Each structure stands twice: as structure tokens, then as C-alpha cells.
Amino acid sequence: DAGITQSPRHKVTETGTPVTLRCHQTENHRYMYWYRQDPGHGLRLIHYSYGVKDTDKGEVSDGYSVSRSKTEDFLLTLESATSSQTSVYFCAINAEGGQPQHFGDGTRLSIL
Amino acid sequence: GENVEQHPSTLSVQEGDSAVIKCTYSDSASNYFPWYKQELGKGPQLIIDIRSNVGEKKDQRIAVTLNKTAKHFSLHITETQPEDSAVYFCAASKGGKLIFGQGTELSVKP
């Protein structure tokens, strides 16, 4: 398995609270991605990073922010969580943009 | 932007039979097409991929075909086994960002 660790693996929180999910990699890969997975939608890209402090938006970025201060860590933040952000969140990495992406095991987030 | 449609959403086969999952994409500039297998409680795992300069690729019991003219690609699994039961996702990529299909839940009955 690719060296990707997501934390926490499960979280339950209330509407309006801030939430931060962490993705940690040991592969020294340049690219990191955050996806959300919802029934009937497959996986949808939220944000991605192509280097330290270099990030860009994906197709469903509203309500989310990201930060990457070190190569190995990519953080996803929900500033004020809403029930529509209840989902399973996956982190992925690859060495270059056109190379296969490898996924972590996900964080199940429930917002009540 | 790119849109990927995947069919069927569910597929049930008998052990030993073949399974075929089909995807269509909208952006003719897409040039990379991976397939992922996802087991319960796990992240998607890459099982095979194909680039736009190749029409077919095979890896043991798994094969992928690509028709660029029609903008569709398919996953073929032969001699299915119960451990092939999972959700399968196709994706299309241009410039590194993946757009996924909706997924196919494959059930292989012993």
C-alpha cells in the first residue's frame, strides 16, 4: 500500500463547528488531492496541491479550504461544517500530475 | 468540463463468468483512463489503466479497451471469482485531474 495515512478515520460533529482532516504521506510525492465520495456521485475532487504552499480548486471546492506547509501533510478544513458536507473524504497522492493516483482509506465525517 | 458516465450501476454474475463495465466520457482531450476497485471500508485501489495512444491493455484476468472515436472505454474481467466482488470506478483525466464515473457494484456469486 502507498504510504498514506488519513486522520481521524471517523468523526461526528455538529453544524457550524470547524473541522480539519489530515492526510500524511511517506512517499515524498509532489501532488496531493482531496476527494469526497457520495452515493451516486463517485468521487469528486475538492482541492489539490502541486507542491508546498501550492494549491488549487477542484470541482466541489465551496465551503472547503486546504493548506500544505510540508511535503508530507495536506490538511482539509471545513470552516463551518454543514450537513451537506457529511461524506467520506479520501486523500490521494502521485509523483506527477499524469501518473496514477493512490488513495488513503478515507475519513467518514458525519455532521449533525 | 469533463463528464464520465458509467454503466451498469450494479452487476451480478456467477463465479467463472465474465463481467464487463462500460464508461463514456465527454472531453475528447482526455488522455488517461484508470480503473479502481474499492472494497468495503477501504480506499479505491488502482487495478489497471490505459492511455489514449493505446487501444487495449491486459493484466491477467483484467483487460481494458479504449475507443477514442466513440469516447468510451470498458473493463473486462474474465473467470470471475468471489474476491472480485467490490465497487469498481472508471475515471478520465486531462492534465492530471481525475473525473470519476458513478461506480458499479459487482457481485460474484459462488
CB pair distance less than 8 Å for A31 and B98 = no
* Per-run averaged pLDDT (10 residues), chain B, 110 residues: 94 98 96 96 95 92 96 98 97 90 96
Pairing state of beta strands A107-111 and A10-13?
A: parallel
Q: How is residue B35 written as a grid cell? A: 480503473
Residue A1 has pLDDT above 70, yes or no: no
Helices (H) and strands (E) in chain B, counts: 0, 11
Of the partner residues A41, A44, A106, the one whose CB lies closest to the CB of residue B43: A106
Torsion angle of the four alpha carbons B103, A98, A33, A58, in this order, in degrees rounded to the nearest 10: -80
pLDDT exceeds cutoff 80 at A46: yes
Whether residue B46 contacts residue B62, with contact meaning beta carbons closer than 8 Å, is answered with no
Query: What's the mean pLDDT when you consider all of chain B?
Result: 95
Alpha helices, DSSP H, located in chain B: none
CA distance B31 to chain A (A): 9
Name residue, grid cell 490505459. B50
**B16 forms bridges with which residues in the sheet?**
none
Distance from CA of B41 to the nearest CA of A (A): 7
A104:B98 CB<8 A: no
CA B99 centroid distance within chain: 13
